[in-house]
Structure 1
Amino acid sequence: MNAVVAAVLIMLVLSLCRIHVVVALILGAMAGGLISGLSLEATIEAFNSGLGGGATVALSYATLGAFAVAIGKSGLAHALADKALALVGNQPAATGGESARRGVRYLIIGLLLLIAMSSQNVLPIHIAFIPLIVPPLLFVMAKLHLDRRLVACVLTFGLITPYMFLPVGFGGIYLNEILMANIAANGIATDGLSVISAMALPALGMVCGLVIAVFFTYRGDRRYDLALIDQEQRTSTRYSPKTLVMAVVAIVAAFVVQLWLGSMILGALTGFVLFNLSGVVKWKEADDLFTEGMKMLAMIGFILIAASGFAEVMRETGDIASLVQGSVGLIGDNQAMAALLMLLVGLLITMGIGSSFSTIPIIAALYVPLALEMGFSPLAIVALVGTAGALGDAGSPASDSTLGPTAGLNADGQHNHIWDTVVPTFVHYNIPLLAFGWLAALVL
């Protein structure tokens, strides 16, 4: 059995059995290395050598977590929650008009969608906003009987679709610096190619998945235990016009520094220091708040580090190339079947690695020559490789696009990472993305 397939399946099965994702990644990597013929020592060495690849991202999330806690201290998120609670009213949502209740639900959903999409370009802090914004809203969501699986789908859509379609912020990195750069490096002239045109159909697939989740799958009520939600955390934070204005100033400053220096770490630190200088965060509290913020996103950092080790073992096995070539070799000159198999292989790889950004360099060197040989147009190849990389970001237990939503929605312990985030996002996004990406590869 192909070692990559075996490793990913082992990791996914263990995760579905509620084994912690870090443990599942380690065991999957070890199994994949041994199945490929690597010795235990070589497998461990490959895993260890890959750990450093996730260190920068993990540190970025740690500092962003500290910045998020400081923003929380300003009361910005709590002001939003109080406004939403005022719209709901003091009585349980069930006693109000159904249309009014649904109106508030869609208002919250729309707001979270806009914030999630903005986190990829307007204010590129990625998932750091989730543990800041979402926990204060859990009480409101529970009163509205809002299904958190729907919120997970909305947040994941906002975290993925902008970077795979709009070449701004994280999208500029994914589409221009990674996707188009690797396409060009493997023999295709990219001058004149519109990456937006190539990724329009796959992005439309994501939109279809979102519409299905919002208006069909999770439109009904789901009840949560209000007693488990930390109301003290929701009401204990005091805010004033000064703290709210300072929060906006710090966010803008962090955004400017990040764009200027190209560093999320320095941007987040700038915002945190401004909160200190303004007095929103007292100097004697700064150390504890910074530590608290780092802890908040530390688990995501550890998972991403483990995923980097997993990815390195997969590369070391050499079975990724054989998986691609073996799949395409089964169907001869059938373009439709070749496109489908290449997308499925991309889905499998990204599900294991957990990062579409890391998948593109792995598969581009294999996919571009094969696609050219089979007669795909340059624009179709861009769509094929871009979609294959993005497939699996939603629905992967090790992806920050699923870990982030869980970090916010499980603040009270009533949201399971696998069954309430991973499975719903996999079903609603990977299936339509696979279909629309396959269509794009054939019609472009």
Structure 2
Amino acid sequence: MNAVLIAVGVMLVLSLLRINVVISLVMGAFVGGLTAGLSVSNTIEAFTGGLGAGAAIALSYGLLGGFAVAISKTGIPDLLIVAILKLVKREGDSQRKGLAKGLIFLLLLMMAIFSQNLIPIHIAFIPLLVPPILKILNMLQVDRRLIACILAFGLITPYMFLPYGFGAIYQQIVATQMELSGLKISLSDIPRAMVIPALGMVFGLVVAFVLYRKPRSYQQGDIEVEELKADVRISNIIFTVFALLAALFVQVGTDSMIAGALSGITVLYVTGALKWQEADHLLIEGMRMMAFVGFVMISANGFAAVITATGHVESLVAKSADLFSDNISLAVLIMLIIGLFVTIGIGSSFATIPIIAAIFVPLALELGLSPLATIALIGTAGALGDAGSPASDSTLGPTAGLNVDGQHNHIWDTCVPTFLCYNIPLIVFGWFGIVFLL
């Protein structure tokens, strides 16, 4: 049997059984290597040789985590929360309540989007922003499943489409892995190829507003929230804005999230917005927050290296091309579904790309897909499953903020709604986009 299928199958089954993703990747790689006839030493050599490809991404995540925690300690999030509470606590008629809902939805959506691109702090904003407004959401009888869908949209769509922040990381991974798999592309082509799949996410967000528009009652219990500080120094606000701008412009100018995050941290250090005596602890805390994602990325690159070393990719491509040569549309659909299950299993779109690119790029070339269609295939297949995966940051983050009072179930209130609202439209729009770009 094909070693690639066995390796991916073992990794996926172990992940679905809730075995640690890093361990699942390592075990899947070893089983695949041994199945292909590689010796233990050759399998280890291939795996360790591939680890370096994920080092830059892992360091980017670590520094961004430290930057995020540092920003959270400047007091800027507290000011934002206090402003929201003052606005939505005002008494008024149903029209005012409707306006309050709309403003909350817009704020959460913008913060989720900014957390991926403009202010790359990832999910760090959720536990800072969501728990303090849960009582207000309860009062307005907002269905928290809608909030989970709003947050998931903002955490996923930007990195698919916008080449900034985490989007730059994701698209760099796509370009690098496609080149390693035999197809060199330009980074500027990725946003063009991902327009239609991104529209699928927009359609899913509209569906979420329709499905979860009705009022839903929650018990108005005590929600523990850290005391908010509204007396933030003006200088801290100014210096934090400078740090964010420095991180953004350096990242854009150098195409390096490492340089961008480092420049933002440096500004916070030099200006005193980040206290020197607290800096080491805060940066370590932030790096620890993102360390798991970094280890997954490194392990996934080792996994992909073993898959390539088996030499079974070529045979899989040849057999698949023969099987689907008369029906490219069906081949594309099956590849998207494979991407869905792989991402759901490991919980990371970023870690999925090295795995599927090694298989899908040669197959796409064999089937005659254009470079833009291949980009859309890899980018969409990687993003599929991020919404709905129990192990994904895009579901774990919203649940962490919405379940502080124990009234939001991770599977049924976050994973299932986001799966239905985003994965199904993403398959449909992604398939159409790939076929359109053929």
Query: Any conservation in 1 of the 2:395–2:414 contact (CA below 8 Å)?
Result: yes
Query: Any conservation in 2 of the 1:186–1:364 contact (CA below 8 Å)?
Result: no
Aligned to 1:212: 207
| Aligned pairs (5 A) from 1:159-174 | 159-167=155-163, 171=167
Which of 11, 14, 24 matches 1:11? Answer: 14
Aligned to 1:55: 55
| Cα distance in 1, alignment partners of residues 239 and 103 from structure 2 | 26
| Distance of aligned partners of 1:53 and 1:194 in 2 relative to their CA distance in 1, 3 Å threshold | closer
Aligned to 1:154: 150
| Distance of aligned partners of 1:276 and 1:411 in 2 relative to their CA distance in 1, 3 Å threshold | farther
Which of 276, 279, 284 matches 2:272? Answer: 279
Aligned to 1:202: 197
Mean CA deviation greater in 128-137 or 248-257: 128-137
Query: Any conservation in 2 of the 1:150–1:218 contact (CA below 8 Å)?
Result: yes
Aligned to 2:361: 365
Query: Any conservation in 1 of the 2:152–2:418 contact (CA below 8 Å)?
Result: yes
Which of 114, 117, 128 matches 1:118? Answer: 114
Q: Does 1:84 align with 2:84?
A: yes
| SS of equivalent residue, structure 1 residue 280 | coil
| Distance of aligned partners of 1:441 and 1:286 in 2 relative to their CA distance in 1, 3 Å threshold | closer
| Distance of aligned partners of 1:87 and 1:44 in 2 relative to their CA distance in 1, 3 Å threshold | farther
| Cα distance in 2, alignment partners of residues 280 and 187 from structure 1 | 45
Query: Any conservation in 2 of the 1:113–1:158 contact (CA below 8 Å)?
Result: yes
Aligned residues: 428
Query: Any conservation in 1 of the 2:205–2:421 contact (CA below 8 Å)?
Result: yes
Which of 132, 135, 160 matches 2:125? Answer: 132
Query: Any conservation in 2 of the 1:154–1:210 contact (CA below 8 Å)?
Result: yes
Unaligned runs of 5+ in 1: none
| Distance of aligned partners of 1:364 and 1:258 in 2 relative to their CA distance in 1, 3 Å threshold | same
Deviations 1:6-46 (A, max 9, x none): 2243134213xxx5544554555555556666566665555
| Cα distance in 2, alignment partners of residues 7 and 134 from structure 1 | 34
Aligned to 1:64: 64
| Cα distance in 2, alignment partners of residues 187 and 305 from structure 1 | 22
Q: TM-score, normalising length from structure 2?
A: 0.78
Q: What letter corresponds to residue 215 of structure 1 in structure 2? A: V
| Cα distance in 1, alignment partners of residues 36 and 310 from structure 2 | 6
Aligned to 2:258: 265
| Cα distance in 2, alignment partners of residues 346 and 257 from structure 1 | 33
| Cα distance in 2, alignment partners of residues 271 and 190 from structure 1 | 28
Query: Any conservation in 1 of the 2:123–2:393 contact (CA below 8 Å)?
Result: no
Query: Any conservation in 2 of the 1:243–1:280 contact (CA below 8 Å)?
Result: yes
| Cα distance in 1, alignment partners of residues 308 and 407 from structure 2 | 37
Deviation at 1:288, TM superposition (A): 2.2
| Distance of aligned partners of 1:197 and 1:250 in 2 relative to their CA distance in 1, 3 Å threshold | closer
Mean CA deviation greater in 112-121 or 166-175: 166-175
Query: Any conservation in 1 of the 2:361–2:374 contact (CA below 8 Å)?
Result: no
Q: What letter corresponds to residue 63 of structure 1 in structure 2? A: L
Q: Does 1:141 align with 2:134?
A: yes
Deviation at 1:251, TM superposition (A): 1.3
Q: What letter corresponds to residue 233 of structure 2 in structure 1? A: S
| Distance of aligned partners of 1:234 and 1:109 in 2 relative to their CA distance in 1, 3 Å threshold | farther
Query: Any conservation in 1 of the 2:177–2:354 contact (CA below 8 Å)?
Result: no
| SS of equivalent residue, structure 1 residue 74 | coil
Query: Any conservation in 2 of the 1:38–1:317 contact (CA below 8 Å)?
Result: yes
| Aligned pairs (5 A) from 1:339-418 | 339-351=332-344, 354=348, 355=350, 357-358=353-354, 361-363=357-359, 365-372=361-368, 379-396=372-389, 401-402=394-395, 405=398
| Cα distance in 1, alignment partners of residues 30 and 401 from structure 2 | 31
Deviation at 1:64, TM superposition (A): 1.9
| Cα distance in 2, alignment partners of residues 340 and 34 from structure 1 | 30
| Distance of aligned partners of 1:281 and 1:173 in 2 relative to their CA distance in 1, 3 Å threshold | closer
Deviation at 1:333, TM superposition (A): 0.6
| SS of equivalent residue, structure 1 residue 330 | helix
Query: Any conservation in 1 of the 2:390–2:415 contact (CA below 8 Å)?
Result: yes
Which of 402, 409, 419 matches 1:426? Answer: 419
Q: What letter corresponds to residue 118 of structure 1 in structure 2? A: F
| Cα distance in 2, alignment partners of residues 66 and 167 from structure 1 | 22
| Distance of aligned partners of 1:390 and 1:88 in 2 relative to their CA distance in 1, 3 Å threshold | same
| Distance of aligned partners of 1:413 and 1:26 in 2 relative to their CA distance in 1, 3 Å threshold | farther
Q: TM-score, normalising length from structure 1?
A: 0.77
Which of 313, 317, 329 matches 1:336? Answer: 329
CA RMSD of the aligned region, Å? 4.1
Deviation at 1:216, TM superposition (A): 1.0
| Distance of aligned partners of 1:397 and 1:54 in 2 relative to their CA distance in 1, 3 Å threshold | farther
